[in-house]
Structure 1
Amino acid sequence: MGLVRPAEAEEAPAGVHGQIGGAHPRAPPGGRVGGFGLWDEVAAAHAWWQSQGVPGLGRFGPTVTVEGERRVRLNSPDHVVG
C-alpha cells in the first residue's frame, strides 16, 4: 500500500513502506493530525483490507439501495462495505 507517488516519496509527510502498526518515521507525533488519528485510520484500513484477502480495485463496485442510497460493495451487491 502506498500513500504517495514514487517521485514524491522522499518528501511525503507520511508513507507506508513495508510496515504497518507502530509509528512510521514520517508519521506525525502520536499519529494525529488536527486532533484526528489519521495514522490510526490508515492502519485500521490496511488491516481491514488484508482481512478481506487484499482485494484489487476490480472487486469493488457501486450499488444503489432501494431507498436510493449509493454504496460501495465488495464482490457482490449484498456485501456493502461503505
Structure 2
Amino acid sequence: MTISQKELKKSKDLVEKLLKVNGNKYNDWLHQQHQQFIEENQDLILQALSAFTGQEEEEEEKSEPKVAEQVSVRPQSIPVTQN
C-alpha cells in the first residue's frame, strides 16, 4: 500500500501532538520504534550478517547461545540510502 505525502504528514502531525501532550518528543519515540523493529528482526539481521561473512547456518546452530544469554544489538545509527 502506498501512502501519499499528505496522509503521511497528517499522521505524523497527529502523533507529534499526542506525544507532546504526554510529554514525549517525536524523534525520541521514532528512534524507539526503529530500535524495537531492529530487535524484532534480530534473527534475520544475524542470518544476513552470517551469510555476508560466509559462515554456515550449521555453525550458528551448534554455538547458538541460550535465550537468556543472547545480547541485544543496538546500533547508534543506521545509514539510509534512497534509490
Q: Which range, TM-score by smaller chain?
A: under 0.3
TM-score normalized by structure 2?
Answer: 0.27
Q: Which structure: greater helix fraction?
A: 2
- Pair member with larger Rg: 2
Q: Which structure: greater strand fraction?
A: 1
TM-score normalized by structure 1?
Answer: 0.28
